[in-house]
Amino acid sequence: MAKKDMIVNAIENGTVIDRIPASKSLMIVRLLGLEDDETCSVAIAVRVKSNKIGLKDVLKIQGRNLSPDEVAALGLIAPGVTLVTVRDYEVVSKTEVEIPNEVEGILRCINPTCATNFREPVVPSFQITTKKPLLLRCNFCDRVMLEENVLAQFI
């Protein structure tokens, strides 16, 4: 087995997130709430040599798949990562995560008086108005958020 395949194939069931820009893996851990999720095991490889992108991080999550909302949020903080679903040690799907058109839940609105920040049942949601530079608009209060506002939520 080639060395690069070991990283992808070492889990039985779950998710591998590959080609993460170096040092963004911990943001993804926080985005997915993996620190507090006792149902899964997580392996983090930091600054792995990659022919394509120089140094990269790799996240292996045993026993957990990502919801569509989580994939969308992942596309905001680390577009271009490779999302691999593994079942019985086999890769069943492999996709490149793109910047979504909208995202629901996970992110918080930066407007402290936004309804999503003080009325519990209201799930925050945002439209992505431009991708380069990244701009999001809150569906509840119309506040515009920048990429740095998004990244700051997971540092």
> Which range, of 38-46, 69-77, 128-136, 142-150, touches Zn ion by CB under 5 A?
142-150
Does residue 109 touch Zn ion according to CB under 5 A?
yes
- Please say which residue, 131 or 143, places its beta carbon nearer to Zn ion: 143
Strand boundaries in the chain, DSSP class E:
14-21, 41-50, 54-62, 82-87, 90-96, 102-104, 125-131, 134-138, 144-146
Binding residue for Zn ion, selected from 138, 145, 150, 154, defined by CB under 5 A: 138
Give the residue, chosen from 73, 140, 145, 154, that forms a contact with Zn ion under the rule CB under 5 A: 140
User: Could you tell me if 55 and 48 are in contact, meaning their C-beta atoms sit under 8 angstroms apart?
Assistant: yes
**Helix H segments across the chain?**
3-9, 25-31, 68-77, 115-118, 147-151
Query: Under rule CB under 5 A, which residues in 5-64 are in contact with Zn ion?
Result: none
Binding interface with Zn ion (CB under 5 A): 109, 111, 114, 138, 140-141, 143
